[in-house]
């Protein structure tokens, strides 16, 4: 199995954006949509409560896309952001789309 380091992934993403093939928003959407599809293929989501734990960077943005897709499918979704609200523009954008989804910065809050 080939494994990419975080630096190689970052460079690949930057190259894709600088080449004009994708924007960072499009890459984040693709990553989140693909992860969501893999989750759906492996987990029965009907009547499930799901917590999506997201960091404050672009990987957290992927999680926000996943959470939005899960909620759109009818899952009871909560987003946990233990590092605080998103810091990158792309992650902030997808976080802003999570209306109606429970959000918390800690696992201790009832969500």
CA–CA dist 94, 1 (Å, integer): 31
CA–CA dist 85, 80 (Å, integer): 10
Most confident of 94-98, 99-103, 104-108: 94-98
Cα 70 to chain centroid distance, Å, stands at: 11
Domains in the chain (CATH in brackets) are 9-104 (3.40.50.10260)
- pTM for the model: 0.87
Collapsing DSSP to helix, strand or coil, 97 comes out as: coil
Find out whether 80 and 110 touch, Cβ atoms under 8 Å: no
Which tokens hold the place of 55? 């960091």
Cα 5 to chain centroid distance, Å, stands at: 19
Report pLDDT for 109: 63
Q: What is the DSSP letter of 15?
A: H
- Give the pLDDT band (50/70/90) at residue 111: low
CA–CA dist 12, 8 (Å, integer): 6
Per-residue pLDDT for 80 more than 80? yes
- Residues 38-61, mean pLDDT to the nearest whole number: 91
Per-residue pLDDT for 60 more than 90? yes
């Amino acid at each position: 199995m080939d494994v990419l380091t975080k630096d190689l992934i970052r460079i690949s993403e930057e190259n894709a954006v600088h080449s004009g093939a994708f924007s960072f928003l499009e890459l984040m959407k693709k990553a989140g949509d693909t992860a969501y599809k893999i989750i759906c293929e492996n987990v029965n989501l009907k009547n499930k409560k799901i917590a999506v734990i997201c960091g404050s960077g672009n990987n957290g943005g992927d999680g926000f896309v996943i959470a939005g897709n899960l909620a759109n499918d009818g899952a009871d979704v909560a987003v946990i952001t233990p590092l605080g609200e998103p810091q990158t523009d792309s992650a902030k954008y997808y976080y802003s789309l999570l209306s109606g989804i429970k959000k918390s910065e800690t696992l201790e809050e009832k969500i």
